[in-house]
Amino acid sequence: QKEVEQNSGPLSVPEGAIASLNCTYSDRGSQSFFWYRQYSGKSPELIMFIYSNGDKEDGRFTAQLNKASQYVSLLIRDSQPSDSATYLCAVNAHFGNEKLTFGTGTRLTIIP
């Protein structure tokens, strides 16, 4: 079992709709969770982080964490073509940032 699993996609969503990206992790002791966006040929860019169960909203982005189910998700509201990218889920065993364990990423395409 991979430590961090994501559906590789591609996930296609119409412009203006909600994109839902999912991630599961195997280490029940994981404490901090991150979503990075990576455009083709570029480096990952931090979008959001979440430490506590529940929802965390930042603009059009909402991160959701359920530690009991070992599940973290990212919702993108009012999807724009510029949101087309690969989204990487990363997990850390501790609060703070030592080793980040990444999933393989989900490729998202927003259809105009």
Partner 1 sequence: DAGVTQSPTHLIKTRGQQVTLRCSPKSGHDTVSWYQQALGQGPQFIFQYYEEEERQRGNFPDRFSGHQFPNYSSELNVNALLLGDSALYLCASSLLDNEQFFGPGTRLTVL
Where do contacts with partner 1 occur on this chain (CB under 8 A)?
4, 34, 36, 42-46, 49, 88, 90, 94-105
CB of 74 to partner 1, least distance (A): 15
In angstroms, the CA 43 to CA 32 distance is 21
In angstroms, the CA 39 to CA 70 distance is 27
Instruction: Tell me the residue type at 44.
Output: P
Q: Which is nearer to partner 1, 1 or 43 (CB)?
A: 43
CB of 110 to partner 1, least distance (A): 21
In angstroms, the CA 62 to CA 64 distance is 6
CB of 43 to partner 1, least distance (A): 4
